[in-house]
Amino acid sequence: MHPGAGNYDNTIVNALMDLNDNNLSNIGDELRPGIVHRIDKDTSGLVVVAKNNKSHENLSNQFSKHTITRIYQALIWGKLRPQNGKIETLITRSTKNRQLMEVGFAKGKQAITNYKTIEIFENSKVPTLSLVECKLETGRTHQIRVHMSFKGNNILGDKKYKKKFKKLKNIDFELEDLLLKLDRQFLHAKVLGFDHPSTGRRLEFSSNLPPELENILKKLRKT
């Protein structure tokens, strides 16, 4: 998203500054002009950028009040039980690895994820995987990834909250190749909705899955 330790180039902020160097909000960190919110590294999809400080403050307020619509798609290991529901926990910094988050039972910030199962893939040549849709009520760091891990259904390709890929004897060869070559988590910010900062009109945007994720789904549906 933005320049940081070990990653100063080829970010969204770099591209924004090339296009709109003098037409972005400057609230907060000078390395993050226009950035109202973030999505995780190796997560694709939609973000909103503020072109001025007034818009930035308005959008930030909408995020604080949890009136922003944020819907993600994820491909997870196994099947969620129940298939549709709400995960409501505390999320805090991991005590074992400060780069990770975890569900807290005594301390942390409230985190709420509404989820529903869209599609389940399961047969003799396919490991059990589920395509799920997650709608955020809150936006904690790594929230969906932590909640799916907490349920025992880690997101495919997630290197931080990972589940080891078990080689299955009868798995389709082409599918196995696609899964092993995936170098990111299968998590995509599909829908983003908010009130326009100037007009108040409700806006909603959607984004298709990128090819590397869509190709996996196509293969799963054919296998």
C-alpha triplet 50, 52, 57: angle, nearest 5°: 70
Torsion of CA 86, 99, 189, 143, to 10 degrees: 10
Using DSSP, state whether 215 is helix, strand or coil.
helix
Phi, psi (degrees; rounded to nearest 5) at 64: -65, -35
Q: Can you tell me the distance from the alpha carbon of 74 to that of 190, in angstroms, rounded to the nearest whole number?
A: 10
Q: Out of 18, 21, 40, 183, pick the active-site residue.
A: 40
E-strand stretches of 27-172 = 44-45, 69-77, 84-93, 101-104, 109-123, 126-136
Q: Can you tell me the distance from the alpha carbon of 181 to that of 177, in angstroms, rounded to the nearest whole number?
A: 6
**Cα 92 to Cα 20, 66, 103, 106, 222, distances in angstroms:** 36, 19, 6, 10, 40
Contact 144, 187 (CB under 8 A): yes
Nearest partner of 152 among 72, 81, 84, judged by Cα:
81
Q: Can you tell me the distance from the alpha carbon of 33 to that of 61, in angstroms, rounded to the nearest whole number?
A: 17
Task: Identify whether 172 is a catalytic site residue.
Answer: no
Catalytic residue IDs: 40
